[in-house]
């Protein structure tokens, strides 16, 4: 950033290391990325003992005293290309308070750290401009510009600005290979679902399109609809609607404007495997347990962070200095992403979405589906996987007797960032607990309350432990409502800071109310501004915006809230909003913001969760169609012609940023497993690769499938969780049937109740032989029954007509009843019923 400087007569130091005048090199292309700090500090990095910040348009850092060597404190930038024999002009502005001598180097980034340029600028308090020239002795794609600032007994402050390295070759211009200009869901389309594609073309009037089957025979044709220039891609586009063609088949292609799309299928079972793959992602993401190659061929690895050298955790982890004087055993949980950190706020939404995937349709998730060590234990694998994380979240709670008891530590991670690749068990960094935060505590309260009801039929002790932890966390959060994580606490792990936790309060209160039915939580929910406010933000919900989770839970999980009907209606209003956004978008994306967020794919998917929930609540086809169309974007109908799910579609993300799925860096290592979602386009392009290659990108183009692009191409536990939720919805055939069920409790007594159930046939065809299915909210169990054979597996109850009443005539009804037991909590009537596999209503 150019700015007024007090030192008008700034000292210009010119150190000519080559006879070529600076002016010649000065005319060359700029090689430094963000040398003016207009876009924050990235891609500049610093050693773990400093924090980089932009102040008055300059990059500044407090340099600690008491270090021995210049290289003990470094600020640098990587991946600078040098061309042998070319002369470079290197310039920067810098200051030191108090005055110091620094070291400016351009060097090899690895041992023996060969220096191609070295200078010792004398830094003054008022600041100076420095200019040098040098000739590169070698060609290199990854030279490093570093400022070595260590070796001072006293602490001091360093600032710099206008860093420029000019000369050499023009920086590489990156042109993504976007393949054919007809953009489709490369996996395919459901026979009964919408089928739309987007054509990129300079034509402005309608064009012909043709749908061809695998034999190349045209099976449908029509005209494109010109849509003008799309802001999210900068492209002139048309849309193609071939929804009328419903015939299943593989290898279809779509041709328009002389271009033929990549092949795709039209199949009923298109999404049958995706929910399983999206959920299988979690097992090899586990910390604290060996990943068995027998369960995940090619992905076996030793347990990470179990207290075996060179690991230094996670069995006895101390706090950051001054935060606490105890240690905790926080072994287990999932690694958050491509790093080895474990963060309660992000773990919270992830485990919640897994539990919600299960809670939406408990019957769809049986034991043995995910091929994990717990498969075969009689409990749904999805709950076993969730438990792995939930146990970790419980372990992050501050123990009784300590200050802030009941709060949860915000996170645990390495003291300094590590490089790639690095398998979890080889991470040598010290691990630290970071201060407790209100947000983490409320994430624990919410997920533990939810776990309490879902685990009740399988493990009463674990359910009770969760409920106790949830209550304790709630009380601690109420007592400490404004303990925010430090936004600058981002060395060695992400900050995950959030300055407003009223939404986390609402979500936690909603879960506690649903599980306990207690007045305190009901009153809190009803009084929260989020209960009646418009929570449906354009950008969608995520780890830092969780009011939507509370709203969705209150709408879908049976509870006795007085304004429940309004809550349900509000979800439909949210869906209407996303539907309108999607319909206006020529790529059919239910997310339209001028700049795409970090992890935009997860926001798109979370908006699809709202649309899907509206379908569940209303049965209106338009919402289900919107979810199906929204998935097309994730699987290839986008500006990059790219599927963002590994293993799905002809061209799919496979180099997501990860320290152990680092095949791009080491061919001995695997790519991420099938079913792994990439974060997706991120307009802020904070990482060095994106900064170098994607400058000025239109939102949809701010993505690159490169392992070093951590801002656009990471994998995370909270991005695969909506993928699991949405794909489970898509895999659900979700057909409705002409039945109505009246479920009424006739009486109750401590620990028990009696119920009558009436099934009405409101259709025109007789039902010969019926099976009714529902699931209980928590630990209810059916006992003696009459008029039907009733059985139960976990929370899922199945009732079967017997001899005299197994036929329901059109307009007729059958009645049966049962006694049940209800160990604790509320006993709300189930709301979702399936007759012979199809949902009633
Ligand atoms: O997903 C997070 C995103 O919303 C934030 O903007 C970003 C910066 O704080 O951090 C992202 O989370 C990363 C975390 O900090 C560290 N682990 C990897 C996460 C995904 O990139």
Tokens of 292: 């068995």
Tokens of 816: 């049966």
Domain termination residue (choose one: 150, 167, 184): 167
pLDDT reported for residue 24: 64
Check: CB of residue 748 under 8 Å from CB of residue 754: yes
Q: What are phi and psi of 677, to 5 degrees?
A: -85, 135
Cis omega before residue 310 (within 30°)? yes
> Going by CA atoms, what residue is nearest to atom 15 of ligand 1?
494
Tokens of 46: 């610093």
What are the tens digits of pLDDT across the range 105-141?
Answer: 999 998 899 999 999 999 999 999 999 999 999 999 8
- Which of the listed residues 598, 657, 677 should we mutate to test ligand 1's pocket, taking the one with most ligand atoms within 8 A of CB? 598
> Going by CA atoms, what residue is nearest to atom 6 of ligand 1?
598
What are the tens digits of pLDDT across the range 531-575?
Answer: 999 999 999 999 999 999 999 999 999 999 999 999 999 999 999
Residue located via tokens 């290898």: 251
Q: What is the dihedral of CA 375, 376, 381, 386, to 10 degrees?
A: -80
Which residues make Cβ contacts (< 8 Å) with residue 31, sequence separation at least 6? 80, 81, 88, 165, 166, 167, 168, 171
> How many C-beta neighbours within 10 Å does residue 128 have?
19
For residue 162, give the nearest of 390, 51, 5 by alpha carbon. Answer: 5
Closest ligand 1 atom to Cα of 543:
4
DSSP-assigned beta bridge partners for residue 229: 236
pLDDT reported for residue 633: 99
Check: CB of residue 41 under 8 Å from CB of residue 59: yes
Q: Where in 110-212 does DSSP place strands (E)?
A: 115-119, 122-123, 128-135, 140-148, 156-167, 182-183, 188-189, 196-200, 208-212
Check: CB of residue 826 under 8 Å from CB of residue 453: no
Tokens of 439: 């947000």
The answer to whether residue 743 is domain-embedded is yes
Q: How is residue 30 annotated by DSSP? A: B
pTM more than 0.85? yes
> Going by CA atoms, what residue is nearest to atom 5 of ligand 1?
598
CA of residue 710 to ligand 1 center, whole Å: 9
Cα distance between residue 373 and residue 368, in whole Å:
10
Which residues make Cβ contacts (< 8 Å) with residue 538, sequence separation at least 6? 581, 591, 592, 593
Check: CB of residue 97 under 8 Å from CB of residue 156: yes
CA of residue 688 to ligand 1 center, whole Å: 16
What are the tens digits of pLDDT across the range 162-208?
Answer: 999 999 988 778 999 999 999 999 999 999 999 999 999 999 999 99
pLDDT reported for residue 320: 98
Report CA torsion sign: 671, 673, 674, 677.
Answer: negative
Check: CB of residue 610 under 8 Å from CB of residue 548: yes
pLDDT reported for residue 141: 85
The answer to whether residue 329 is domain-embedded is no
CA of residue 494 to ligand 1 center, whole Å: 6
CA of residue 346 to ligand 1 center, whole Å: 9
Cα distance between residue 26 and residue 28, in whole Å:
5
Closest ligand 1 atom to Cα of 711:
21
The answer to whether residue 754 is domain-embedded is yes
Closest ligand 1 atom to Cα of 544:
4
pLDDT reported for residue 676: 99
For residue 24, give the nearest of 79, 87, 66, 81 by alpha carbon. Answer: 87
Helix (H, G, I), strand (E, B) or coil at 185: coil
Catalytic annotation, residues: 657, 705, 714
pLDDT higher than threshold 80 for residue 437: yes
What are the tens digits of pLDDT across the range 242-284?
Answer: 999 999 999 999 999 999 999 999 999 999 999 999 999 999 9
**What's the pLDDT band for 469 if we cut at 50, 70, 90?**
very high
Domain termination residue (choose one: 149, 167, 185): 167
Helices 621-634, 717-731: crossing angle, 10 deg rounding: 130
Q: What is the dihedral of CA 806, 812, 818, 820, to 10 degrees?
A: 120
pLDDT reported for residue 824: 79
pLDDT higher than threshold 70 for residue 337: yes
pLDDT reported for residue 823: 83
For residue 582, give the nearest of 636, 525, 622 by alpha carbon. Answer: 622
Helix (H, G, I), strand (E, B) or coil at 266: strand
40 in ligand 1 pocket by Cβ < 6 Å? no
Q: Which CATH number does the domain housing residue 835 bear?
A: 2.60.40.290
What are the tens digits of pLDDT across the range 731-742?
Answer: 998 788 999 999
The answer to whether residue 153 is domain-embedded is yes
What are the tens digits of pLDDT across the range 366-386?
Answer: 999 999 999 999 999 999 999
Q: How is residue 424 annotated by DSSP? A: G
Cα distance between residue 651 and residue 635, in whole Å:
9
Tokens of 304: 């990470």
Cα distance between residue 597 and residue 586, in whole Å:
20
pLDDT higher than threshold 90 for residue 3: no
> Going by CA atoms, what residue is nearest to atom 16 of ligand 1?
494
CA of residue 371 to ligand 1 center, whole Å: 29
CA of residue 496 to ligand 1 center, whole Å: 7
pLDDT higher than threshold 90 for residue 92: yes
Which residues make Cβ contacts (< 8 Å) with residue 570, sequence separation at least 6? 535, 551, 555
pLDDT higher than threshold 70 for residue 435: yes
Q: Which domain holds residue 782?
A: 736-840
CA 209 to chain CA mean position, Å:
36
For a pLDDT cut of 90, what percent of the chain falls above it?
Answer: 91
599 in ligand 1 pocket by Cβ < 6 Å? yes
What are the tens digits of pLDDT across the range 624-657?
Answer: 999 999 999 999 999 999 999 999 999 999 999 9
DSSP-assigned beta bridge partners for residue 144: 107
Section 591-605 average pLDDT: 98
Section 739-756 average pLDDT: 94
The answer to whether residue 157 is domain-embedded is yes
The answer to whether residue 786 is domain-embedded is yes
CB-count burial class (<10 Å; 0-12, 13-18, 19+) for 64:
middle
716 in ligand 1 pocket by Cβ < 6 Å? yes
Q: What is the mean pLDDT of the chain?
A: 95
Q: Which CATH number does the domain housing residue 122 bear?
A: 2.60.120.260
- Between the alpha carbon of residue 292 and those of residues 302, 303, 373, 380, 436, the distances in Å are 8, 10, 8, 20, 34
Of 19-23, 349-353, 391-395, 501-505, least confident by mean pLDDT is 19-23
336 in ligand 1 pocket by Cβ < 6 Å? yes
Question: Looking at the 3D structure of the chain, how many domains does it have?
Answer: 2
Closest ligand 1 atom to Cα of 718:
1
The answer to whether residue 152 is domain-embedded is yes
The answer to whether residue 273 is domain-embedded is no
Cα distance between residue 659 and residue 506, in whole Å:
35
Which residues make Cβ contacts (< 8 Å) with residue 153, sequence separation at least 6? 65, 66
Check: CB of residue 167 under 8 Å from CB of residue 88: yes
Cα distance between residue 746 and residue 57, in whole Å:
71
Domain termination residue (choose one: 102, 136, 167): 167
Check: CB of residue 738 under 8 Å from CB of residue 838: no
598 in ligand 1 pocket by Cβ < 6 Å? yes
Which residues make Cβ contacts (< 8 Å) with residue 1, sequence separation at least 6? 36, 37, 38, 57, 58, 161, 162
**What's the pLDDT band for 25 if we cut at 50, 70, 90?**
low
pLDDT reported for residue 639: 98
């Amino acid at each position: 950033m150019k700015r007024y400087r007090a030192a008008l007569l700034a000292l210009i130091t010119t150190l000519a290391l080559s006879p070529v005048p600076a002016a010649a090199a000065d005319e060359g292309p700029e090689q430094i990325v963000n040398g003016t700090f207009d876009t924050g500090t990235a891609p500049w990095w610093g050693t773990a003992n400093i924090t980089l910040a932009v102040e008055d348009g300059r990059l500044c850092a407090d340099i600690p005293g008491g270090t021995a060597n210049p290289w003990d404190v470094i600020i640098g930038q990587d991946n600078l290309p040098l061309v042998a024999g070319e002369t470079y002009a290197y310039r920067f502005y810098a200051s030191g308070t108090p005055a110091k001598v620094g070291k400016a180097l351009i060097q090899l980034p690895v041992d023996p750290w060969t220096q191609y340029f070295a200078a010792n600028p004398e830094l003054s308090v008022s600041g100076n401009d420095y200019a040098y020239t040098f000739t590169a002795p070698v060609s290199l794609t990854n030279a490093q510009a570093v400022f070595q600032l260590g070796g001072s007994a006293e602490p001091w402050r360093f600032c710099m600005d206008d860093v420029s390295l000019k000369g050499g070759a023009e920086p590489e211009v990156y042109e993504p290979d976007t393949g054919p200009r007809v953009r489709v869901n490369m996996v395919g389309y459901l026979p009964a679902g919408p089928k739309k594609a987007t054509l990129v073309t300079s034509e402005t009037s309608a064009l012909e399109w043709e749908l061809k089957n695998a034999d190349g025979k045209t099976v449908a044709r029509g005209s494109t609809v010109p849509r003008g220039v799309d802001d999210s891609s900068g492209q002139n586009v048309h849309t193609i609607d071939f929804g009328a063609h419903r015939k299943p088949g593989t290898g279809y292609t779509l041709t328009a404007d002389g271009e033929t799309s990549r092949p795709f299928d039209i199949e009923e079972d298109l999404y049958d495997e995706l929910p399983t793959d999206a959920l299988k992602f979690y097992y090899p993401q586990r910390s604290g347990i060996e990943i068995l190659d027998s369960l995940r061929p090619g992905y076996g690895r030793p347990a990470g962070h179990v207290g075996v050298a060179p690991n230094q955790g996670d069995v006895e982890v101390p706090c950051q200095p001054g935060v606490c004087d105890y240690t905790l055993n926080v072994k287990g949980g999932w690694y958050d992403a491509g790093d080895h950190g474990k963060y309660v706020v992000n773990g919270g939404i992830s485990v919640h979405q897994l539990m919600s995937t299960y809670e939406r349709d408990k019957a769809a998730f049986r034991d043995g589906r995910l091929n994990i060590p717990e498969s075969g234990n009689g409990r749904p694998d999805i709950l076993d996987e969730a438990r792995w994380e939930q146990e970790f979240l419980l372990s992050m709670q501050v123990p009784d007797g300590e200050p802030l008891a009941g709060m949860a530590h915000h996170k645990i991670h390495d003291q300094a960032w590590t490089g790639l690749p690095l398998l979890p068990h080889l991470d040598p960094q010290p691990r630290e607990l970071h201060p407790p935060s209100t947000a983490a505590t409320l994430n624990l309260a919410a997920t533990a309350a939810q776990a309490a009801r879902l685990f009740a039929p399988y493990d009463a002790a674990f359910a009770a432990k969760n409920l106790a932890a949830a209550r304790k966390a709630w009380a601690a959060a109420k007592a400490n409502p404004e303990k925010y994580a430090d936004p600058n606490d981002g060395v060695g792990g992400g900050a995950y800071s959030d300055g407003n936790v009223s939404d986390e309060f609402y979500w936690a209160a909603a879960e506690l109310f649903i599980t306990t039915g207690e007045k305190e939580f009901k009153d809190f929910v009803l009084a929260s501004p989020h209960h009646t406010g418009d929570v449906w933000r354009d950008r969608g919900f995520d780890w830092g915006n969780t009011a939507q989770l509370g709203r969705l839970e209150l709408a879908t999980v049976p509870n006795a809230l007085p304004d429940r009907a309004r809550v349900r209606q509000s979800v439909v209003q949210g869906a209407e909003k996303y539907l309108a956004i999607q319909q206006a978008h020529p790529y059919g994306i239910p997310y339209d913001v001028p700049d795409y967020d970090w992890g935009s794919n997860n926001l798109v998917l979370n908006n699809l969760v709202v649309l899907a929930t509206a379908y569940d609540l209303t049965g209106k086809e338009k919402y289900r169609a919107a979810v199906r169309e929204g998935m097309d974007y994730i699987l290839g109908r986008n500006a990059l012609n790219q599927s963002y799910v590994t293993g799905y579609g002809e061209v799919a993300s496979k180099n997501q940023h990860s320290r152990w799925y680092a095949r791009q860096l080491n061919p001995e290592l695997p790519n991420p497993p099938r079913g792994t979602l990439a974060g997706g386009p991120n307009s802020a392009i904070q990482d060095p690769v994106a900064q170098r290659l994607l400058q000025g990108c239109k939102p949809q183009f701010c993505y690159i499938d490169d392992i070093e692009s951590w801002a656009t191409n990471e994998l995370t536990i909270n991005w695969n969780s909506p993928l699991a939720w949405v794909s489970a919805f898509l895999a659900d055939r979700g057909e409705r049937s002409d039945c109505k069920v009246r479920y009424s409790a006739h009486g109750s007594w401590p620990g028990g109740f009696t119920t009558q159930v009436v099934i009405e046939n409101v259709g025109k065809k007789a039902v010969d032989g019926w099976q009714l299915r529902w699931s209980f909210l928590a630990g209810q169990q059916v006992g003696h029954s009459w008029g039907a054979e009733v059985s139960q597996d976990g929370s899922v109850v199945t009732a079967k007509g017997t001899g005299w009443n197994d036929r329901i005539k059109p307009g007729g009804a059958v009645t049966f009843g049962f006694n049940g037991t209800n160990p604790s909590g509320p006993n709300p009537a189930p709301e979702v019923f399936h007759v012979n596999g199809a949902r009633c209503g």
